[in-house]
Amino acid sequence: MVKAVVGANWGDEGKGKITDMLAKEADIIVRFQGGANAGHTIVNNYGKFALHTLPSGCFYGHTTSIIGNGVALNIPVLFKEIQDIVAKGVPMPKILVSDRAQMVMPYHVLFDQYEEERLGGKSFGSTKSGIAPFYSDKYAKIGFQVSELFDEELLKEKVVRVCETKNVTLEHLYHKPLLNPDELLETLHQYKEMVEPYVCDVSTYLWNAIKEGKEILLEGQLGTLKDPDHGIYPMVTSSSTLAAYGAIGAGIPPYEIKKIITVCKAYSSAVGAGAFVSEIFGDEADELRRRGGDGGEFGATTGRPRRMGWFDCVASKYGCRLQGATDVAFTVLDVLGYLDEIPVCVGYEIDGEVTTEFPTTAKLEKAKPVLKTLPGWKCDIRGIKNYEDLPENCRKYVEFIEEQIGFPITMVSNGPGRDDIIYR
């Protein structure tokens, strides 16, 4: 059976923890899109980790971790990540890399930095990991596929061709040092050496695994609102963050995805620029940020303080609908235990009219939150294992949100650890 774990909002919903938890029952975990630009924070018996490329299920001996064809693969980043977790006592994970995955090149990272620098105050809040230049090149058909590392003649010709076009931009737009084809070829030789033992025809491997009845998890990066088609364009990522793309980014039939676990936070947070209707500021935001997550709400990749807000029913209903949620995993509920009352955004007021449907970006910029306040539960709920044992106001909060978004909340996370979970 294939299950997808995806985000309903801006990313940072706690997908890593949910994947790590579900991976216990899985045979194979596949990353299907995105690159090393966002991180998943995992807390387990080996310690605390921020993963950027490795699937969040890599801590179990029985799982195979796959880098799908839809991923922006930064080979040195992947291998540094493997070395880091092994150095902390994690057994060497079994890893397969799709021969159709494309590689983030060193110049992609440079171009990302140069462009943000050039845009100045009008920048997209990029993590400068090379993601937009990588996907631009993929669709312009000048990217490097892993399989091409094994064709020396093709590489020799292609590095010259690619450097010619890149150098025009470097010289005339960015006024930066030019690329050298020989150095680039040498880099690609190093990449080949690193990745060779792991390269695999992933779609065939997965097809056979499905036929054998294996349990497969697709792990998405970021969330619905960062999708380039359905998100807050242009403040989005460059690859589709939706479960539907899991079929493409892993190379499996769409009808095989039977369960879509969509992760929602009990409040909102976002990294990077873009409209964020339920956002809060000042002391109120600082307090939530400090208590939030495990050790505070700071980006797993950038360390940037996350922007904070109350739960947004409009954005979350939309996020779950676009993902096709069969189950909602509701995370960090324990964090809200300090509040006397908890505001929830139940609608957007745009030009004097209230809507509960998520609008396009231009309208979103004008939206003001319509808030409803619910009573808090004023106690620590960590360690509770049964839903019935949660305080009444806590259950009412979960049920109110479930009713607003219209999708079943089947898991409630009440702590950072792998076992801090309540099944409903």
Establish whether 305 is an annotated binding residue.
yes
Active-site entry in 20, 40, 230, 312: 40
Is 11 annotated in a binding site? The answer is: yes
Q: Is 382 annotated as a binding residue?
A: no
Report the interhelical angle of 106-119 vs 152-169 (nearest 10°). Answer: 10
Q: Which two tokens stand for residue 18?
A: 């949910």
Maximum Cα interatomic distance, the chain, rounded to a whole number of Å: 68
61 in a known ligand binding site? no
The span from the CA of 221 to the CA of 219, in Å, is 7
Q: Is 302 annotated among the ligand-binding residues? A: yes
Binding site annotation covers 35? no
Is 40 labelled a binding residue? yes
In the block, residue with structure tokens 């006024």: 175
Query: Which of the following is catalytic: 12, 99, 227, 420?
Result: 12
3-state secondary structure of 300: coil
CB count in 10 Å sphere of residue 40: 26
24 marked as binding residue: no
Q: Does the annotation mark 189 as catalytic?
A: no
- Consult the annotation and say whether 399 binds a ligand: no
Q: Which of 285, 206, 305 is nearest to 246 (CA)?
A: 206
Check whether 187 is labelled as a binding-site residue.
no
Query: Is there a cis peptide before residue 234, judged by omega within 30 degrees of 0?
Result: yes
- Asked if 66 and 31 count as a contact pair (C-beta separation under 8 A), the reply is yes
Residue 141 assigned as binding residue = yes
Q: Is 45 annotated as a binding residue?
A: no
Gap between the Cα atoms of 341 and 377, Å rounded: 8
Q: Are 159 and 185 in contact (CB under 8 A)?
A: yes
| Gyration radius (Cα) of the chain, Å | 22
* 39 annotated as a binding-site residue: yes
* Neighbour-count burial of 316, counting CB atoms closer than 10 A to its CB (0-12 exposed, 13-18 middle, 19+ buried): buried
Backbone angles phi, psi at 405, to 5 degrees: -85, -25
Does the annotation list 303 as a binding residue? yes
d(CA 369, CA 136): 35
Rounded to whole angstroms, how far apart are CA atoms 326 and 94? Answer: 29
334 known ligand binder: yes
Q: Please, what is the Cα angle at 329 between 291 and 287, to 5 degrees?
A: 15
Residue 188 known to bind ligand: no
Structure-token match 């171009």, residue found: 111
Please state, in angstroms and rounded to a whole number, the distance separating the CA atoms of residues 130 and 146: 17
37 is in an annotated binding site: yes
Residue among 221, 218, 219 at smallest CA distance from 236: 221
40 is catalytic: yes
- Tell me if 258 is assigned to a ligand binding site: no
Annotated binding site for IMP: 12-15, 37-40, 127, 141, 237, 304
Annotated binding site for Mg(2+): 12, 39
Q: Which amino acids are annotated catalytic?
A: 12, 40
Annotated binding site for GTP: 11-17, 39-41, 306, 332-334, 413-415
Annotated binding site: 11-17, 37-41, 127, 141, 237, 300-306, 332-334, 413-415
Annotated binding site for substrate: 300-306
